Amino acid sequence: MKQLQKYLVLALVAVPLVGFTGGAMTNSVIKPNEAVASPALKKGSSAKLYGRLWSQYSNTKSEGSESNTTIFDDEGMGRIGFKGKSAIGNGYSVNYKVEWAIDIGDGDSSGLDKEDMGSNDKGHAFTNKQSWLGVLTPYGQFKFGSMESPYKYLAKHDILHDTLAQMRDTRGISQGTMSHSGYWKTAGFYELKAGNFRFAAIRGFSNHDEAAASSNNKKDYGFGAEYKNLGIKGLSLVYAMNHDHSADKENEKYTITYDMKLADKQKIKVWYMHEDVEIDSKMFNNSAGEVDWYGIHYSSGPMKLQYSIANTESDEGSATEGDGTAYNVGMQYKLSKTSRFYAGYSDHDGDANNKTTDFRTYIFGLRHDF
């Protein structure tokens, strides 16, 4: 398995490099809705207020305990923010994003999980998620501040992401700053796109006490690479890793995705992800193990359905092995371009010796973007 991962990483890097020698690189792209520098763009600036609001009913239950119910957003998954850019000519622009998590239900955007909070720490109406200032160039984008790591946003397939039924909360995939919950503070970032190839890298720059609380510090680094339409239209490959310098440990993942278009505007997406996890105390008792995650999406008109399942295996022996199986099923239905109804169910079959007892969650709610 280790050899296979090495070959996949080499392929991701080597294939696009051949293309670089024969053509110019295109501009960096972070997400489809973010500003991108254009050589033809005239000088000027723009700014936009944006956000999304969630309200949901959630019911969670762990083995041996009563169910916990709520009718609001306990993940702080609502967002409000500003983003924009200012063109400075010759294909260069300055851009920015400032984004906070919000909770319209009880005003506590920090969520229900208080394991890492001190006894005197209280909930916050606004919690900073991203706040960065960057430069867009014809050769990629540079950003400085607080932002998502490539590990987090590359091959992010779970349609229940940021809800209580998401796979990272179900312990089906990793969570934490060094994995799928990766918002890095006091960091520098670079990303470029060249045809079907995308590469991104991130590095921590501060050893200040406040930065230590965010779990990424000076000399921590990560990177990710994606190659789309790899020999077959719709076939994509992703590799990503985050390295913790102080612990000398890292998380790695690679994901294979295949998108298929069917008749009558129907689509199917299937994927497989393998993770080698060394930093995640909530998944494994010794923070180390492996994850295999399989999933499928089916879309037809305004409806999208999902099923995914993950098998986890600890590196430890049977005494604290922490092996488990997790799955979730989900549905999204677009009511309009900006509003949708969603529902989901997740289940985890864990190991009591590893403090990962069985639990299940079901949710349904509304989301509105603006």
pLDDT value of residue 317: 57
Cα-based distances in Å from 156 to 31, 61, 311: 12, 26, 18
- How far is Cα 215 from Cα 217, in angstroms, rounded to an integer? 6
The proportion of the chain whose per-residue pLDDT surpasses 90, expressed as a percent, equals 49
pLDDT band for 264, please (50, 70, 90 cuts).
Answer: confident
pTM reported for the whole predicted model: 0.81
**Contacts of residue 285, Cβ cutoff 8 Å, sequence gap at least 6:** 314, 316, 320, 322, 353, 354, 355
Locate tokens 């006894």: which residue? 119
| Three-state SS annotation for 326-368 | EEEEEEEEECCCCEEEEEEEEEEECEHHHCECCEEEEEEEEEE
Locate tokens 């792209």: which residue? 29
**Contacts of residue 30, Cβ cutoff 8 Å, sequence gap at least 6:** 141, 191
Domains, the chain, ordered by start: 25-369 (2.40.160.10)
With 90 as the cut, is the pLDDT of residue 64 above it? no
- How far is Cα 190 from Cα 202, in angstroms, rounded to an integer? 7
- How far is Cα 24 from Cα 20, in angstroms, rounded to an integer? 7
Across 246-250, average pLDDT: 89
State the number of CA atoms in the 13 A half-sphere of 271 facing the CB: 27
Which pLDDT tens digit goes with each residue over 176-220?
888 998 789 899 999 999 999 999 999 998 775 554 444 567 889
**Which range among 65-69, 142-146, 309-313, 354-358 shows the weakest confidence by mean pLDDT?**
354-358
pLDDT value of residue 104: 77
- How far is Cα 370 from Cα 53, in angstroms, rounded to an integer? 8
pLDDT value of residue 26: 39
pLDDT band for 111, please (50, 70, 90 cuts).
Answer: low
Which pLDDT tens digit goes with each residue over 326-337?
999 999 999 999
Which spans in 135-220 are helix H?
150-153, 209-212
Helix (H, G, I), strand (E, B) or coil at 6: helix
